[in-house]
Amino acid sequence: MAPLADQKSRAEELFRQPWSREVLVDEDGAYLARVPELPGCFADGDSLEEALANLDVVLRGWLTISLERGDPIPAPRRIADSFSGRFSVRVPRSLHEALSRRAEDEDCSLNQLVTVLLAEAVRSPHLPDTASSPDSTDVSEGIAADAVRSGSQAIAALKGIGTLLRDRGDVNLACVIYAMAASLVATVERAEVAAREFGMAASLARREKRNRLAEALLRESVQRDPTNLRSSSTLGQLLYWQGRYPEATVYLSRASSIDSYARLFLGWSYLLEGINLSDELQKREGLNNLDNALREWCYQKGDRASRASWLRQVQRLAKLGGRYVDEARHLVEFANANANWGPIDPAVVTSPEGDDDVSPAPEELHNSPL
């Protein structure tokens, strides 16, 4: 056996070899680092840095023990194969956190997400003019292979492909792929989980104003899980903006007890349908819901940022004339007593504050912090 000092210096020399280092995130979010060439050479940590520092300690130990016992030590992969497909990169913590969050949102591994993003980035500089053409980029073969398998691997891969398509601007296709992933989720998880996935795909479609697609996805979500109130509320709002009030009320009423947006839209749906049909009962129901939602809005979120949006709602109500003007004035009185945005002159319910257009923009309403 070699003298101890020789062994130590040999171990140190081996330690400085260009060993691969692979970092994985475990199921609980902790980091597991390993040297893939050396079986049993791994260490963990709460952060990437901690895991890699611990791996250095373990690597020294692993090499020392191997030298002492005369075990064979494989060559570092970077020498044997310069393009092994594994490399480690130090990134700012903020970027690491952002990537991890996005991977979590997409329900895929950090590794898969980074692979997709890198593939996209490597290709795009060479194809600057065709970035949005359908055949300008391709998913990696590994991800495509995962996508056609069954089970959770396929789900993550499909979501990765969906993200690639979304980032490329192919929103419709991205939604189709997300929906395929959601259908697969239904085979391995409870219906509620699949319904959430359909709901998330619908959010993308809605954000990009693909209303028919969003409606189809939301209906799928609600059908799979009627207790998914977020999808019910969103579907109701979508139907409302298309003037399909009776249909809208079906979905909005499910969520109206806990979702103030849903109650506001439910109120408008009943009220406008009641006016269309001259149905006093519906009008009263609508006004009641609208009144409750607007009072809650100014009481709970009476900050300056939401004042203009709130006021437009009230002005819109006043524009209906007759008793609705009185109702609007009562709402302003309530807001003046309870909201934090400062006093509103009751006269503005019938004469807008420096703005002739009193119709509420849908986007504005969506973004209002109700």
Partner 1 sequence: MAERDVDHARKLVAEIRRNRRSQSPEDLARAASALGFAIDRSRSKDSYVWAIRSPGPKFPIPTTKNPVRVGTVTSILRILEEVLTDGSLG
Nearest 5°: CA angle at 296, between 292 and 298? 125
Query: If binding means CB under 8 A, how many residues of this protein chain bind partner 1?
Result: 25
Least separation in angstroms between residue 49's CB and partner 1 is 16
End-to-end alpha carbon distance in the chain: 76
Least separation in angstroms between residue 76's CB and partner 1 is 18
x-or-dash string of contact with partner 1, 71-110, rule CB under 8 A: x---------------------------------------
Name residues whose C-beta falls within 8 Å of residue 173's C-beta, 6 or more positions apart in sequence: 134, 165
Distance of CA 277 to the CA centre of its chain: 40
Contact predicate 235/215, CB 8 Å: yes
User: Could you tell me which of 322, 273, 324 has the C-alpha nearest to residue 294?
Assistant: 324
In the bound state with partner 1, the residue whose beta carbon lies nearer, of 88 and 276, is 88
| Distance, CA of 193 to CA of 187 (rounded, Å) | 10
Name residues whose C-beta falls within 8 Å of residue 45's C-beta, 6 or more positions apart in sequence: 30, 31, 33, 51, 52, 53, 54
Least separation in angstroms between residue 66's CB and partner 1 is 8
In the bound state with partner 1, the residue whose beta carbon lies nearer, of 27 and 280, is 27
In the bound state with partner 1, the residue whose beta carbon lies nearer, of 64 and 336, is 64
Least separation in angstroms between residue 205's CB and partner 1 is 36
Least separation in angstroms between residue 119's CB and partner 1 is 26
Please give the helix or strand (H or E) that residue 23 lies within, else none.
strand 22-25
| Distance, CA of 352 to CA of 359 (rounded, Å) | 11
Name residues whose C-beta falls within 8 Å of residue 60's C-beta, 6 or more positions apart in sequence: 11, 12, 15
Within residues 185-244, the interface with partner 1 by CB under 8 A covers none
Question: Where do the DSSP E strands lie in 150-192?
Answer: none
In the bound state with partner 1, the residue whose beta carbon lies nearer, of 36 and 76, is 36
Contact predicate 55/33, CB 8 Å: yes
In the bound state with partner 1, the residue whose beta carbon lies nearer, of 70 and 92, is 70
x-or-dash string of contact with partner 1, 5-34, rule CB under 8 A: -------------------xxxxx-xxx-x
Least separation in angstroms between residue 115's CB and partner 1 is 20
| Distance, CA of 281 to CA of 332 (rounded, Å) | 25
In the bound state with partner 1, the residue whose beta carbon lies nearer, of 69 and 126, is 69
**Residue positions counted in the chain:** 370
In the bound state with partner 1, the residue whose beta carbon lies nearer, of 26 and 135, is 26
Least separation in angstroms between residue 99's CB and partner 1 is 18
In the bound state with partner 1, the residue whose beta carbon lies nearer, of 66 and 136, is 66
Helix axes 110-123, 152-168, angle to 10 degrees: 30
Within residues 129-158, the interface with partner 1 by CB under 8 A covers none
Within residues 35-64, the interface with partner 1 by CB under 8 A covers 39-44, 54, 57-58, 61-62, 64
**Binder of partner 1 out of 6, 13, 47, 65 (CB under 8 A):** 65
Q: Which residues bind partner 1 (CB under 8 A)?
A: 24-28, 30-32, 34, 39-44, 54, 57-58, 61-62, 64-66, 69, 71
